[in-house]
A = this chain, B = another copy of it.
Amino acid sequence: MALIVQKYGGTSVGNPERIRNVARRIASFQAQGHQVVVVVSAMSGETNRLIALAKEVQANPDPRELDMVMSTGEQVTIGLLAMALKGAGCEARSYTGGQVKVLTDSTFTKARILSIDEAKMRHDLDAGNVIVVAGFQGVDADGNITTLGRGGSDTSAVALAAALKADECQIYTDVDGVYTTDPRVVPEARKLETITFEEMLEMASLGSKVLQIRSVEFAGKYKVKLRVLSSFEDEGEGTLITVEEERNMEQPIISGIAFNRDEAKLTMLGVPDKPGVAYQILGAIAEANIDVDMIIQNVGHDGTTDVSFTVNRGDFAKATAILEGVKATLGAREITGDNKICKVSAVGVGMRSHPGVASQMFKALADEGINIKMISTSEIKISVVLDEKYLELAVRVLHRTFGLDQQV
C-alpha cells in the first residue's frame, strides 16, 4: 500500500464529465489498496473569469480581496470532485487550503507555503477516505486566504506530498510526460522515462508546459518523487522526475533539447568596465518588471566592456527605451539589439562527466551553416542564441546529434 498525492489541472477537471472521469480513475486507484490525496485546480477558464470580474469591479483590485475571490475557483472543484467520488462509491472529503492549514506568508496573490498540518488528512486517510484538497491556496497566520500565484496547484501538490511523506506525487496533465524536445518540431522526439530535477529546471521551456518550475524546486529540496502523467490516457508511466543518483548509469549524456521562440537580445557596447555597471543596467530593466533570460558579459578591453541580455520579444521596445536612458548615465558607446532571435539549449546532467559536449554541439550547427550569435553555459546546459529562422533546423540537428531519437 502506497500513499500517493495526485494533482489534476484545470483541463482535466474542465467540465462535469471530465470530473466524473477523474473520479473513476481515483476510485480504481484506491481500489488497488492505495491511499490517495488529490489536489485540484480551478476548472479551466474559471480563474480568468474571476480575475476579469474583479477587474470589472475595480481596475486594480486589492490583493487580499483578489485572493478571496480567486480561491473560490478551486473550492468549487474540490466540492464537485468529492461529490463525484462519493457517486463512484468512494468515501471522500474535500478541504480548502485553510482547512488543512496550508500556512503561507502574507504575500497575497503569490504567497509561499511555510508549513502544512497533516494530522487531519492522516486521520481521514486511515479511515478510508480519499482527501481532495484545493490547490493554489493557503491561509496566513491571521487566517486570511492567500493564493500561490499561477500554476501554484503543482506546488500545493508537492508540498502536501512532502508533508505527508507520500511515496509519489503524480501530476496529471494534458501531456503524457516530458519529451526530449517538442514533438511538433521533431516528430522523432521521445518521451523520457526519467529526468533529474536539475534537468527539469534547465529545460524550463519544455518543462514549464508540463510542470510549474517552482514545484520542481520544491520537490528537489524535499526529495519528493514527482511523476508527470496524462489524465486522458489510462496507460503509460509518464516521466519520473528524480535525483541523479537514482538514474540508470547508461543514461544518455544529453536528455533534451529545449528552445525559446520570441526572444530578443540587447547589447550595450563600450560600457566603462567598473564595478556596479551590470547592476545599473539590469536593475533598471528589473524595475520595469521585464524578465531577463540570458545575461552575458565578456572580458573587457581598453577599459570598456559589452553587456548583452535577452528578453521576451514583447519587452524589446520597452527595454531598448530603458537602455537609452541608462546609456548617458553610464557613458556607454552604443546600444544594439535584435528582436529576431531564438534560443536553443542542450540539457543533460551527463555533460558534467563528458567533456566535449559543447564542441560537438557547435560543430553540428556549423555543419549546417548556422551562425551562433551568443553562447551561455551552465553545469548541465549549453545555450546558443541564433537567428530565429534557424530554430527548427537547429533543434532537429541537435536532437539527432545527441542520439535522442534512438530508443535507449
Contacts and interface: CB of A to CB of B under 8 A. Distances in A.
B80 A57 contact: yes
Contacts of A76: 50, 53, 69, 72
A98 B144 CA distance: 11
A72 B62 CA distance: 19
Interface centre among A67, A68, A69 (most CB of B within 10 A): A68
A72 B71 CA distance: 9
A93 B84 CA distance: 34
Interface string A56-76: 111001101111110110011
Contact of A83 (B61, B75, B79, B145): B61
Contact of A75 (B61, B72, B84): B72
A79 B75 contact: no
Contact of A58 (B57, B69, B75, B87): B87
A145 B69 CA distance: 17
Contact of A20 (B50, B57, B82, B99): B57
A86 interface: yes
Nearest to A63: B83
Interface string A392-407: 0000000000000000
Nearest to A88: B58
Given A72-B72, A99-B143, A143-B99, A54 B66 contact: no
A78 interface: yes
A19 interface: yes
Contact of A86 (B50, B65, B69, B96): B65
Copies, count: 2
B99 A83 contact: no
A133 to B, nearest CB: 12
A62 to B, nearest CB: 5
A61 B76 CA distance: 13
Residue in A61, A62, A64, A86 whose Cβ sees the most chain B Cβ within 10 Å: A62
A16 interface: yes
Contact of A57 (B50, B84, B144): B84
Contacts of A53: 16, 76, 80
A257 to B, nearest CB: 42
Interface centre among A66, A67, A96 (most CB of B within 10 A): A96
Interface in A1-51: 16, 19-20, 50
A83 B84 CA distance: 34
Given A62-B82, A62-B83, A86-B62, A68 B57 contact: no
Contacts of A83: 54, 57-58, 61-62, 65-66, 69
Contacts of A58: 80, 83-84, 86-87
A80 to B, nearest CB: 5
Contacts of A86: 58, 62, 65
A94 interface: yes
B94 A57 contact: no
B87 A65 contact: no
A80 B75 contact: no
A194 to B, nearest CB: 36
Given A50-B76, A69-B75, A69-B76, 7 more contacts: A20-B57, A58-B87, A62-B86, A64-B93, A66-B83, A68-B82, A72-B76
Interface of A: 16, 19-20, 50, 53-54, 56-58, 61-62, 64-69, 71-72, 75-76, 78-80, 82-84, 86-87, 93-94, 96, 98-99, 143-145
